[in-house]
Structure 1
Amino acid sequence: MTFQQIIYQVDGPVATITFNRPGQMNALTKVLEAELRTAIETAGRDKAVRAIVLTGAGRAFCAGMDMEELAVLPPEDIQAEEWMRPYDMNRRADYQTRYTYFPAAPKPIISAINGAAAGLGLIMALYSDFRIASDKAVFATAFAKRGLIAEHGIAWILPRIVGHANATDLLLTSRKIDAAEALAMGLVNRVVPADELLAQAQALAATLSSEVSPRSVRVMKQQLWEAPWQTLGEAVALANAEMVQSIRSEDFTEGVQHFVERRPARFTGR
């Protein structure tokens, strides 16, 4: 598979997707956007892949929409038919729109944020399951400084991660924050030295691929992303139904056996 603006690599059970426009701080174009979705969907279908790492080439993660392309982009493009996908009836429609499809991926997505994550770059990080930041990373919503609004569900997802007060601050002021402040408000899971970022993100992906059941990870990811729409009773009912299926699974049998036999697990994801 050949891409123009991303790099797609699979190493064992880990797929690494790299934004590859370093000279433009990996600013998002229509080409990059389409390639990213194709790559994530490809990794999701690949039975050998168990985790996805997303990062950027050069000094930025993704600095938002390419300004030259944004300047000539017709307003109607945001709802253009070319960005629509047939809905998967087994997954919530909310997570299948143009930028909110990360939660619908059946594999965990780890954003390794190596530099600037602004605008749409920040949105993609927010919809990831893990966010590991370089100590050189910076974050900004940026929309208010461009005369725009809280795009693509960020007004929904950001308060759920950092709280209403922090989300209001970041959205209305568009100020930049560094990695330390991002960690303090819970925007990222951890901050690591820049030269260790990719290795640590891939190590987390390897852990998710080998030390825990990929079936469990898949189901729990879905539970977590369903929870904002559920009552407690609905969440418990779903958990009870999934618990029955998990006890019947090969991974449950293996989970017990490898513990009793004191050996590494050999999960199949079934």
Structure 2
Amino acid sequence: MKPSVFENPHPAINSIDVSSFRYESYGWRDILVRLDAGTGVLTVELNRPARHNAFTNDMCHSLVFAFELADADARVRAVVFTGKGKSFCAGADLSEGFGADASLPINAHRDGGGQVSGAVLRCRKPVVAAMNGNAVGVGITMALPADMRFVSRDAKLALPFVKRGITMEAMSAYILPRLIGHKNALEVSLTGDTYLAADSPFAGLFNAILPAEAVLPRAVEVATKLATQNSVVSMALNKMLIWRTPDSPEATHLLDSACIAATSKSADAKEGVQSFLEKRKPKFTGAVQDLDHFGFYPWWTQVDTDVPRRKVRGDSKSKL
């Protein structure tokens, strides 16, 4: 029997030794992943340039696994998320349909873009998106949870869901209005029109609009700066403080206070102060796993969105 495209071919993250995982030699599907051991920057690259990096189920599973690894692997300190060729991602590969598994009831379905967005959000390392070309549908929405986005000035951007008879996905109904405002989010999602990055509805979404050839180098430069100059623990907490903010200023004050109290006692805080006084670059040693020792973390109610894992395809042996 031919294996289903919905089967996940990758191992569970808690079943492997991430500290010795070999990114470059692993059997990725529709993406490439490489780690710069010197800087700690992991590059995750969509790899279907002949199809403008159209999103597939294989790509979905690979991206989720890559961002799970990035979160768990202490060698990784920042992530660059980009596409190979002239496009970032042309949206879903409609030859696979809309990615819904007909064998599952509706309430058991998890859209592929949402699985990727969730993995990006759960990655506690900084994620910098280098949107090197056109981005359509999921090509935009899965980049929304990135912490910074750099885009080609010539890139065409569209959320054409209404022109395909479907709805927004990948958590975009939650994230997009928080980035560009409800007015603009309604415009781009209800019209389904095509825009350029500099057009007013997308104002504020991108950290910089650049010539196409400058997008990836700029993203790598920024990611390298984050990875080599900042505390991973501090950046992880700041990310979560912004995404998981309590529902009032006073509750946020209480949470801020707990975070400051906990981090001020850490080795990273001591190194940060000492390196400043000695006028040298800091050498931070903290890891995101240190957060597990903070009694208040996580402070939010975690919603279980896990997809039941199916049997791994017989032709997909891991090469770790």
Q: Call closer, same or farther: CA 1:80–1:52 in 2, change over 3 Å.
A: farther
CA–CA distance in structure 2, aligned partners of residues 149 and 83 of structure 1: 14
Higher helix share: 1
After the TM superposition, which residues 121-132 of structure 1 pair with which residues of structure 2 at under 5 Å, given as runs?
A: 121-132=139-150
Q: Which amino acid in 1 is paired with 2:146?
A: S
CA–CA distance in structure 2, aligned partners of residues 100 and 221 of structure 1: 14
- What CA deviation, in whole Å up to 9, does each residue of 1:87-115 have, x standing for no partner? xxxxxxxxx95643321111111110011
The question of 1:15 aligning with 2:42 is answered yes
Q: State the match for 1:268 in structure 2.
A: 285
Q: State the match for 1:195 in structure 2.
A: 213
The question of 1:149 aligning with 2:167 is answered yes
Q: State the match for 2:263 in structure 1.
A: 246
CA–CA distance in structure 1, aligned partners of residues 184 and 87 of structure 2: 23
- Report deviation, 1:136: 2.2
After the TM superposition, which residues 106-125 of structure 1 pair with which residues of structure 2 at under 5 Å, given as runs?
A: 106-125=124-143
The question of 1:223 aligning with 2:241 is answered yes
Q: State the match for 1:39 in structure 2.
A: 66
Q: Which amino acid in 2 is paired with 1:224?
A: I
- Report deviation, 1:81: 6.0
Q: State the match for 1:2 in structure 2.
A: 27
Q: Which amino acid in 2 is paired with 1:232?
A: P
* Contact preservation (8 Å) 2:100, 2:109: no
* Contact preservation (8 Å) 2:57, 2:99: no
CA–CA distance in structure 2, aligned partners of residues 256 and 72 of structure 1: 50
Q: State the match for 1:104 in structure 2.
A: 122
CA–CA distance in structure 2, aligned partners of residues 51 and 142 of structure 1: 31
Q: Which amino acid in 2 is paired with 1:9?
A: R
- Report deviation, 1:223: 0.7
Gaps of 5+ in 2: 1-25, 288-320
CA–CA distance in structure 1, aligned partners of residues 254 and 99 of structure 2: 49
Gaps of 5+ in 1: 85-95
Q: State the match for 1:48 in structure 2.
A: 75
Q: What is the aligned length?
A: 258
The CA RMSD measured in Å over matched residues stands at: 2.3
The one of 142, 151, 157 aligned to 1:133: 151
- What CA deviation, in whole Å up to 9, does each residue of 1:149-189 have, x standing for no partner? 12232222111110111111100111111122269611111
Q: State the match for 2:52 in structure 1.
A: 25
* Contact preservation (8 Å) 2:130, 2:151: yes
Q: State the match for 1:93 in structure 2.
A: none
The higher-RCO structure (CA 8 Å, 6+ apart) is: 2
- Report deviation, 1:121: 1.3
Q: Call closer, same or farther: CA 1:172–1:111 in 2, change over 3 Å.
A: same
Q: Call closer, same or farther: CA 1:170–1:77 in 2, change over 3 Å.
A: farther
Q: Which amino acid in 1 is paired with 2:253?
A: V
- Report deviation, 1:266: 0.9
Q: Given the two structures, how large is their TM-score scaled by the length of structure 2?
A: 0.75
Q: State the match for 2:293 in structure 1.
A: none
* Contact preservation (8 Å) 1:183, 1:190: no
CA–CA distance in structure 2, aligned partners of residues 82 and 169 of structure 1: 27
CA–CA distance in structure 2, aligned partners of residues 159 and 256 of structure 1: 38
Matched position secondary structure for 2:198: helix
- Report deviation, 1:145: 1.0
The one of 86, 92, 95 aligned to 1:68: 95
Larger Rg: 2
CA–CA distance in structure 1, aligned partners of residues 204 and 99 of structure 2: 36
Matched position secondary structure for 1:180: coil
